[in-house]
Every structure is written in C-alpha cells, then in structure tokens.
Amino acid sequence: MIKITRIQGFRGVRKFSTTKTRTYDHILTSTPAEGVFQVTLNRPKALNALCTPLIYELRDAMRTADCDSSIGAIVMTGSERAFAAGADIKEMKDMTFAQAYSQEFIKSWSQATDIRKPVLAAVNGYALGGGCELAMMADIIYAGEKAVFGQPEIKLGIIPGAGGTQRLMRAIGKARAMHFILTGDTFTAEQALAWGLVADVYPVSELVPATVRVAQKIAAQGKLAVQAAKEAINYGTTVGLESGLEYERRLFHSLFATSDQKEGMAAFVEKRQANFEDK
C-alpha cells in the first residue's frame, strides 16, 4: 500500500516520496523506522568535510522532513570513521574576507538544523570543528565509544564559526571550552558523556540503531507536545530562569487547547495506550 501524506506548505496531497526518494550527491536519506527520518553525511573520501553543497543538501533534506507529517524525529549521522571532520578546508583556504562577509558564510548551517522536529545526532569517529558544531546544533547527541570531539580551528589560524565558542562553552563550561578551543586538543566520548555534551555512549556498531530507537520513541509521542518541549528547552538556553519558566508555563497552558492533551489524559485514566493525532 502506498502511504499518502499531507506535506505542509503544499496544496493538496502528494505521495510519500518527497522526503524518501529524493537523491543527493553528499548525503544519504532513509526512513529506518516508523516516524524516523535519517540523514547520513556521505563524503567518505573527505571524512564528511562539510562543503557548501553538502550543507545545502542537508538543509533541503531536513526542511523537507520537518514538513512531512509522517516524520516525528530526525537522526543525523556520518560514518564509523567520521561524523564530520569540519568545514571543508580546501573550499575555505582561498576565501577572502569580502567573500565570507558578503555571502554570510556559515549562516546556512543553522538554517539546516533550525527546524521544529527533534534532531538526534549519532556521532561515530571524528566530530571536529564544524563537525562538532553541527552535532551541537542537534537537540541530543549520542556518541560511539571511539568518537573524537574537538574544535581545532585555532591550528588553522581561525576560530570556530558555526557556534563552537558559544555552544561548547554552554555545554561543558567555560574553563573546558577555553582549554579545547585555545589549544585545539580533542576529547573522547567518555569525557563528552561525563561533561554533559552527549546523552549516552554506545559501542560503535550499536550507536545508530540505538539512536533510531530513541527517535522512534519520540516519534510515537504527540508532535505538538514534542515541538513545545523542544521549543521550551531551547528558549531556556538563551534567556534567564524567570523568562524561561514563564515561557514554559505559557506553552504548557497552550497544550490544553489540543486534542492530544484530552486523549493523553483520558488514556491514562482509562488505563490504555494514548492514540495521539497531532492536533
């Protein structure tokens, strides 16, 4: 049976294919479980270095999945050797200030991950420079036990440009972020777990299936509540406690306007599984 789904932003109904069958040069896409969309960075010869065409493809795939009502969570991963070894140094090496500034170089990266649905990064191997930054743009990071994190930009005569100085500092604290960004040293999955950068660590071959299982669990919840929870947490990372608490409360109040709240609470009282309809 062909599953038909409504794609927000389009008139009418179109086949499931929008998210599933589009092909790209630098990424692979798949739906490994119900409600889960997976993007796999795929430039193996360059250790998934993040060239501009790859970022545009990622942005297209992520935004398409974000608008696909059958998708509830997105897994972003690379290979066992490298999640991504950073922005493409060969692409950047001759770039001038005028080009970087006038083209807002790197801004399109956040457009790739600034979406409503949860993004789970599954990081095996190198997550360096822009690779570490891309992982940190996800909502949750899970790591394989051999993952290597770092912001080595200082060794190239630059600093992180896709959020490294800001997100790493917020995730692991100022002293450690200063250490790693100023020295270019790398850190392990075990350290990343101990410092709260990653949510869990798995054996290399189990990482992606384990992340997909979490994504499937999230995708089975009501999408409105998931979106609100993500929005509240992310808002809280940018403001003080009082504003964050008020924002959370307002979103909490608004969910009482949804059928999913009625269904979720009725299901609890009737001792049955909730059947969320995302409305």
Residues near ligand CAA (CB under 6 A): 46-47, 49, 85-90, 106, 126, 128-130, 133, 152-153, 156, 160-162, 164
Give me the least distance between CB of 76 and ligand CAA, in Å please. 16
Known catalytic residue at 153:
yes
Per-residue CA distances from 230 to 173, 205, 225 (Å): 22, 28, 9
Q: Bridge-partner residues for 16, per DSSP? A: none
Known catalytic residue at 184:
no
Name which of 89 and 255 has its Cβ closer to ligand CAA.
89
Name which of 145 and 248 has its Cβ closer to ligand CAA.
145
Give me the least distance between CB of 125 and ligand CAA, in Å please. 8
Known catalytic residue at 173:
no
Distance in angstroms (rounded) separating the CA atoms of residues 129 and 42:
17
Catalytic residue chosen out of the listed positions 35, 122, 131, 133: 133
* Nearest residue to ligand CAA, scored by beta-carbon proximity: 129
Three-state SS sequence of 58-125:
HHHHHHHHHCECCCCEEEEECCCCEEECCECHHHHCCCCHHHHHHCCCCHHHHHHHCCCCCEEEEECC
Known catalytic residue at 91:
no
Give me the least distance between CB of 23 and ligand CAA, in Å please. 23
Q: Bridge-partner residues for 119, per DSSP? A: 74
Catalytic residue chosen out of the listed positions 72, 85, 144, 153: 153
Name which of 84 and 229 has its Cβ closer to ligand CAA.
84
- Token look-up 């940190």 returns 136
Name which of 39 and 87 has its Cβ closer to ligand CAA.
87
Name which of 86 and 222 has its Cβ closer to ligand CAA.
86
Give me the least distance between CB of 105 and ligand CAA, in Å please. 9
Catalytic residue chosen out of the listed positions 72, 78, 86, 130: 130
For the annotated catalytic residues, the residue numbers are 87, 130, 133, 153
